[in-house]
Amino acid sequence: MAVMEITEFPERVLKEVGAAVEEFDEGLEKLVADMFETMYAEEGVGLAAPQVGLSLRLFVMDCAGIKLVAANPEIVSVEGEQEGEEGCLSVGKIHAPLKRAERARLRAQDVKGEWFEREAEGLAARCFLHETDHCDGTLFIDHLSPLRRDMVKRRFQKMKRWR
């Protein structure tokens, strides 16, 4: 297993709609293991393939008691609303308040290619939504108001200069 390098905003791959995962083989198993290792090393709760430079519809998560691999994820339904802060490893973990659905139902394939559905609420639902967005080339900052988005971008640019 190996820790991979995190792709950061504004790299192009983060804006691309990922390609479908079609091969459920040893290569995918190794990639998923590396993604988990990278996510834990970075103290994240979710990590999508574009965040390690791969334009693929794939994410891993371990958040609020839900640990899973999701290939070709889709959000099939959402309900309610939650307030809360959100951040992203690709945007230097800078947090901003972002309203999300309180509950979300995810449909995806596991590492063997088996389809499953899973429901989550609160933080785990937020994670489903955030990571599925990554697979579609959307970052959490894309959901913020232009003013708040600029604030996060400026803080991130500043942070990058200092490291």
Which of the residues are catalytic?
Answer: 131
CB of 87 to Zn ion, least distance (A): 8
- Site for Zn ion (CB under 5 A): which residue of 52, 66, 71, 88? 88
Q: Could you tell me if 52 and 36 are in contact, meaning their C-beta atoms sit under 8 angstroms apart? A: no
Stretch that binds Zn ion, among 25-33, 67-75, 84-92, 148-156 (CB under 5 A): 84-92
Stretch that binds Zn ion, among 23-31, 77-85, 88-96, 98-106 (CB under 5 A): 88-96
The DSSP element (H or E) to which 28 belongs, if any, is helix 26-41
Q: Which two tokens stand for residue 145?
A: 């108001």
Stretch that binds Zn ion, among 65-73, 80-88, 105-113, 143-151 (CB under 5 A): 80-88
If the CB atoms of residues 59 and 109 are measured against Zn ion, the closer one turns out to be 59
If the CB atoms of residues 28 and 60 are measured against Zn ion, the closer one turns out to be 60
Closest residue to bound Zn ion by CB? 88
Q: Cα separation of 12 and 59, whole Å?
A: 18
Q: What is the DSSP letter of 17?
A: P
Q: Cα separation of 2 and 89, whole Å?
A: 17
Q: Does 39 bind Zn ion (CB under 5 A)?
A: no
Longest CA–CA span in the chain (Å) reads 45
Q: Could you tell me if 141 and 153 are in contact, meaning their C-beta atoms sit under 8 angstroms apart? A: yes
| Residue 86 neighbours by CB distance under 10 Å | 21
CB of 44 to Zn ion, least distance (A): 8
If the CB atoms of residues 88 and 120 are measured against Zn ion, the closer one turns out to be 88
Q: How many residues bind Zn ion (CB under 5 A)?
A: 1
| Residue 33 neighbours by CB distance under 10 Å | 15
Which parts of this chain interact with Zn ion (CB under 5 A)? 88
